């Protein structure tokens, strides 16, 4: 998992990028980086380690620019070092990526055959190289759509272009991506938590969506490059759910809040008046369920094993558990398949 951020503003963006990256560190912290467009150039800074280290680099050598992208990494392809850290930039385009490009090896081989040179070991760099090629003939949005068509796997992307200092392009397939609206400034980010200190007006991208952010407007397109409208949501001001509060870290908070979270989830299905289970909101008829497969990785797999015990204790349905990374590589959360 990684975290991405993008900001289009009418003022310098690097401090806000750093602050948002600090909020995204729960998603990855083996390296961090940012790129802005300043004086007609892509200005990229990155390092292995935490956002604090990147902040120190910026303190000594500030990054100007009203448009930028940032990244915190948790490596899937290539060791955590400066070259593999995001953004991945060419002369004309810079990319941050959360996800996995499954056909990157093949794409890389093809591109290398045609003389392209790769600097990093990452899957992400194929996106930069493909875009760089396509931008020789196409305008940015078209180049992005053509590149996305060639990718297999999952991604949330933030992209800036040397020759276009007014917009950031975002794209989503599989990995989460939200955009936020403010006065003279718009954002994209892996989650609304990272954007919350800057805005409470949010839209979530669906799979296949692409967005183009300037400092005063956001345009959305579906996977067929057709303009679409999206609903703007207002985030609640409930600090308790979004902030760490008195907990040392988010993990302690999550562990301590487990019983409340479980109650909140189950409450939806409890009819207190009839003292029964309310099935109106349940998407399928439970009688049709023949088998339940619980899948997860790591601690989520252990949750599945515990759930198997309880499900079999309380129902007559057969329960299987499976390690998601072996059978269902695209799933990272504990998931229930109803068969």
By CB under 6 A, residue 185 contacts ligand GLU: no
Instruction: From 54-62, 96-104, 197-205, 277-285, give the range in contact with ligand GLU by CB under 6 A.
Output: 96-104
Q: Which two tokens stand for residue 284?
A: 């399928």
292/324 with CB nearer ligand GLU:
324
Residue 24: how many CA atoms within 13 Å on its side-chain side? 34
By CB under 6 A, residue 123 contacts ligand GLU: yes
Q: Give DSSP secondary structure letters for 224-263.
A: TS-EE--PPEE----HHHHS-TTSSSHHHHHHHTHHHHHH
In the list 75, 111, 141, 319, the residue contacting ligand GLU (rule: CB under 6 A) is: 75
By CB under 6 A, residue 24 contacts ligand GLU: no
Instruction: From 34-42, 59-67, 93-101, 266-274, give the range in contact with ligand GLU by CB under 6 A.
Output: 93-101
Report the C-alpha gap between 169 and 153 in whole angstroms.
19
17/101 with CB nearer ligand GLU:
101
By CB under 6 A, residue 331 contacts ligand GLU: no
By CB under 6 A, residue 83 contacts ligand GLU: no
By CB under 6 A, residue 44 contacts ligand GLU: no
By CB under 6 A, residue 151 contacts ligand GLU: no
Report the C-alpha gap between 213 and 325 in whole angstroms.
35
Q: Identify the bridge partners of residue 227 per DSSP, sorted by sequence position.
A: 221
| Nearest to 183, CA basis, from 218, 215, 230, 219 | 215
Handedness of CA 15, 71, 116, 81 (dihedral sign): positive
By CB under 6 A, residue 100 contacts ligand GLU: yes
In the list 50, 53, 77, 165, the residue contacting ligand GLU (rule: CB under 6 A) is: 77
Q: Are strands 276-277 and 270-271 parallel, antiparallel or unpaired?
A: antiparallel
Residues in binding contact with ligand GLU, number by CB under 6 A: 15
Give the number of residues written for the chain: 339
Q: How far is the CB of 76 from ligand GLU (least distance, A)?
A: 4
| Nearest to 334, CA basis, from 239, 247, 257, 262 | 262
Q: How far is the CB of 2 from ligand GLU (least distance, A)?
A: 3
Q: How many CB atoms lie under 10 A from the CB of residue 132?
A: 18
Q: How far is the CB of 175 from ligand GLU (least distance, A)?
A: 7
Residue numbers at the binding site for ligand GLU (CB under 6 A): 1-2, 73-78, 97-100, 122-124
């Amino acid at each position: 998992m990684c975290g991405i951020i993008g900001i289009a503003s009418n003022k310098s963006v690097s401090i806000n990028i750093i602050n948002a990256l600090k909020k995204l560190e729960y998603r990855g912290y083996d390296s961090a980086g940012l790129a802005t467009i300043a004086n007609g150039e892509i200005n990229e800074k990155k390092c292995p380690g935490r956002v604090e280290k990147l902040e120190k680099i910026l303190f000594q050598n500030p990054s100007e620019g009203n448009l930028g992208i940032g990244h915190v990494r948790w490596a899937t392809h290539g060791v955590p070092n400066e070259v593999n850290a995001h953004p991945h930039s060419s002369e004309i385009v810079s990319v941050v990526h959360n996800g996995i490009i499954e056909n990157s090896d093949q794409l890389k081989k093809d591109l290398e055959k045609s003389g392209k040179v790769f600097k990093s070991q990452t899957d992400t760099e194929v996106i930069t190289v493909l875009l760089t090629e396509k931008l020789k003939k196409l305008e940015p949005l078209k180049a992005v759509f053509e590149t996305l068509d060639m990718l297999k796997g999952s991604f949330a992307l933030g992209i800036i272009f040397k020759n276009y200092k007014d917009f950031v392009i975002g794209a989503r397939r599989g990995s989460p991506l939200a955009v936020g609206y403010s006065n003279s400034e718009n954002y994209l980010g892996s989650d609304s938590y990272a954007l919350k200190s800057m805005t409470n007006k949010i839209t979530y991208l669906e799979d296949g969506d692409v967005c183009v952010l300037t400092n005063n407007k956001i345009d959305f397109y579906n996977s067929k490059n057709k303009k679409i409208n999206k609903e703007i949501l207002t985030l609640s001001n409930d600090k308790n759910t979004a902030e760490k509060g008195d907990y040392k870290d988010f993990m302690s908070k999550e562990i301590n809040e487990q019983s409340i979270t479980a109650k909140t989830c189950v409450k939806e299905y409890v009819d207190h008046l009839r003292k029964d289970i309310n099935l109106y909101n349940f998407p399928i008829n439970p009688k049709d369920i023949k088998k339940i497969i619980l899948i997860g990785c790591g601690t989520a797999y252990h949750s599945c094993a515990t759930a198997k015990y309880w499900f079999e204790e309380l129902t007559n349905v057969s329960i299987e558990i499976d390690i998601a990374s072996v059978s269902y590589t695209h799933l990272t959360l504990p998931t229930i398949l109803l068969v």
